[in-house]
Amino acid sequence: MNPHPRIALIGECMIELQHRADGSLQQSFGGDTLNTAVYLRRELGASSTVDYVTALGDDRFSDAMCQQWAAEGLGLDRVQRLPGRLPGLYCIQTDAQGERKFLYWRNEAAVRDCFTTPGAEPVLAALPSYDVLYLSGITLAVLGEVGRARLLSALLQARQRGARVVFDNNYRPRLWASVQAAREAYQQVLALVDMALLTEDDERALFGYADSEQVLAAYPGIEEVVLKRGADDCLIRCGGERFAVPARVVEQVVDTTAAGDSFSAAYLASRLRGGSPQEAALAGHRLASQVIQLPGALIPRG
């Protein structure tokens, strides 16, 4: 295993508004793969390169995003800046139990042209040189059909060169024209995946699986499958073995935003450092339990 892996995470970061109880709005930034990128960089420290791959506008919000990412140690060489465009925006509303509801404004977001512009050519050409490529179901949705096809081609080349592809399912129905369109896109990428970090609720919603056993049985060709189940044990199938690792008990959940993203980051970081699946799951639960006790997607560095 490469002790200093080069990792690229591909997806979208948006302007985040947290709707507070007094009616005020707290502005920050977030997005599933960006959240994972930040937490992964924090977990790995200086032992690896973590680059974020996306497209932004040339506005002040996009400037601030890049400044924040650089401060977190993320590489920005694969971030395109598209003149006249803007990033997407979302608002988080949480109930008394900490469960969240999202309101989105993202139809014109710059990331939708991430892999269709002339500037995308060197980015796509660089992807196969990474050791690990990470994307999510939201990545698939926001790129659109053309961008998605170009990314899948790059993932295939990367695997042929020995890279590992990691996929978090993160299914969001409103981003897809139909369930069938989403299923087809997911099945295309799942054929190229080495590690699948799956949320059981999303698998049920997208494919109609009845239980955990059906989910695990659905991906016999994937080397490592991790099934995230909220406060229940996560289930892992790896190397022909099965593991169940209990989650941490949290007395007060404040905000579940980025719970799965942070779990995925800590799990992947542990595996890249040579940890066992059980050790990686414990690391994932540890970080996720910290994240859900504070508001917002990205908690302050400890």
Per the listing, tokens 């993202």 go with: 106
152 and 104 Cβ atoms separated by less than 8 Å: no
Cα 228 vs. chain centroid, distance in angstroms?
13
Instruction: Tell me how far apart the alpha carbons of residues 58 and 44 are, in angstroms, rounded to a whole number.
Output: 30
Q: Rounded to the nearest 10 degrees, what angle do helices 259-272 and 32-44 cross at?
A: 40
261 catalytic residue (yes or no): yes
Exposed e or buried b for every residue in 87-118, given b needs 16+ CB within 10 A? bbbbbbebeeebeeeeeeebeebbbbbbbeee
Q: Please list the active-site residues.
A: 261
